Chain A
Amino acid sequence: MKAVVKDGIAVFSPQGFLDANSSNAFISLEDIEAATNIKADMILVSLKKVVFFNRNGLDIFVKLFSKIRKKNQAVVGFCDYDRKKYEAIKKFFHDELNFSLFKTLEIAHLFSNSFKNGGKNVLLYSGDKSQRSAMAIELHDSGHNPIVTQSFEEFNAKKANKNAYDYTVDSTFLGQMGQKVAARVTGNAIIYTVSSFLDAEISENFNIEYHNNSLNVGFRLFIFDVYKVVSMNIHALNFFSKLASSAAEYNATVCFVGMKFDKTPLAFKETMEDAGILFFAQMDDILQDKALLKELGASSASNVKNRRVLNKETVSELPKFIDATVVTLEMMTNAKAIKVGASVHDLSIEDKKGKIASSIGYYGDMDGMVVLVFPEPIAKKACELLIGESTNNTELILDTLAELVNIVGGRIKTLLADEAISVNITLPRTYQDVDSLMEVVANRKGVQVDLSFNGDQFLFFLTR
């Protein structure tokens, strides 16, 4: 069984009956290997479609959790259950509950570093006082407003006022939370979340390869969410100073948000400022200030340092890139693609109106970026299979387009792997209009392939 990964959370969804025999069959050795290699903040098993489980059935998954945590420190646990199942799990594992329990996947998202919108009013109850506090702290640190209730009666009474809260959280338990540096993309900025004590381990937990390739594909603003950092030592200071210096070569900016210097020498701040790191008190001080975002480069993401030319290797693998895109789009739209033309030049889009775009970078044995430009009707059509209905909600379409380009990226990775070329893919990016895309790929030469789906033009662009 494979996990579905979305917004930094990987979810396994077994169905039916979980006992020792069936659980073993759900998770093969290959699945364990794949799960431990998933780059996700959380790895959860959904019990939504499980009608029966016993301790032996859950044990198999709990052992898997332990292996995953040893390897990548992700948050692990179960989600999507009712109160009866919650009580049963707590009874089965009362002394060894070192994984997390989230009543719903939505609640898990609230506690995930990849959650996009902070500032939610969250009504909270747990029978365990320390859990109540732990959850309130986590939610507060993530920018939400937790409202803690002291009894289940109080929780239910307050919950009755449906409009007062965005979320209500009960039957939830926080086990060991994540330690690795989680990344998420908001607009053209990448936000990394770090916590507790920062020391030499930061260089192991931080995915420098991913960061460098984000620079390569045009990201210019990197924000470290350090609200939960208690202190840092000289090793972490050196790490961040180097990171800021290398970012400067790309004209990129590194920011720290929410850093307190009660337990960290104030001199560190000066050193970091000298290296070019900017400090802000609140995340909204950056994200809500459009002028500042523009100044910091998050709305103008052109890549200054790394304008590289297409190489022979990339061109020779071009058919695979096109194939991966065409097959995915054909699958999504159930329409046949016709290649209209291909040429090597800077990206050129004659009619920019009504078009949206997405891109994904790849790195490893080869590197580069695939850009897809869609007329809105095609984008909508392509997303219908994933969404399940026709929609005009631009945010939903862009989100789904990111999933789609992720499928394209995954397929490229597989096709290249067949030729023993190993690549990883970056997080996908989406662009609400062509102008914001042009800021990223301006003056970059690439292969442009014009395709037609049922008469609608669609554009593929491969660059480095």
Chain B
Amino acid sequence: MKGATIVLSARRQDVLASLFRSSPFLIGLIIVAFWVICALFGSHIVPYDPYAEDILNALTPPSIEHWFGSDQLGRDIFSRVIVGSRDILTVAPLATILAICVGTVLGLLTGYFRGIVDDLISRLIEAKMAIPSIIIALLAITALGTSKMTVVIIIGLSFGTVVARTVRSAVLSERDLEYVAAAKLRRESAVHIMFIEILPNILSPILVESTVRLGYAIFAVATLSFIGFGLQPPSPDWGLAISTNYAMVSGGYWWTVLFDALAIASLVIGVNLIADGLHGALDD
């Protein structure tokens, strides 16, 4: 047992070392850390109140006073972009956590028991894959109404099916191994075997899947907000800001959308660099 622990921690050190040697991973980490700090403390450090309207200074281009310019209500865009990280960094991670929980349980059940349950759930997942998550979310939100909670639940459940597929295939490669057979001989319950024996051994694919899903959750939440089915005004959310301002782009007011677009782009790329780095380090 002690030997196993040492081997395990040695492997963990290997993984950590190779992660911190990979520059894409580090860049991703820095970007995401920056936005997390903005989400947590942004409202204390921004120069203006992100909700304060100042009609006399509406639509001013970037300047010394307003670094990123101001929007059509005269609100400071720099302050709004910084604080705008908060809502998406609450909703997307919550949805991801829900997806991981649902997906892990479903994946363990379908992978361990196989048979009719597996067939049924697999068909359901396949049918769901035929339409993009964004459209499922649109249908469900149209029926249920918009709120942060609905967005979390819909994206969480919808992504849960994708996580389930990953977990299922990880379980399939574990379920015939000796330690599972040994646990069966000890007459451990199925729940014990799934959650105490198998689950700890498939944590690394689950971890990689979580970071990948987080990237897609940010993608989905931003897109839903952009089409008006996600975060609602007056939230300074980036997708929402682009949605309210993009009609003015042809009038030359580029600063009302550019910085929000770059903010989304940087966050999504950051999360995916982390996911890519983890995938590379844990796969070896």
Answer whether A and B are interacting partners.
no
Chain B residues in the interface with A (C-beta under 8 A): none
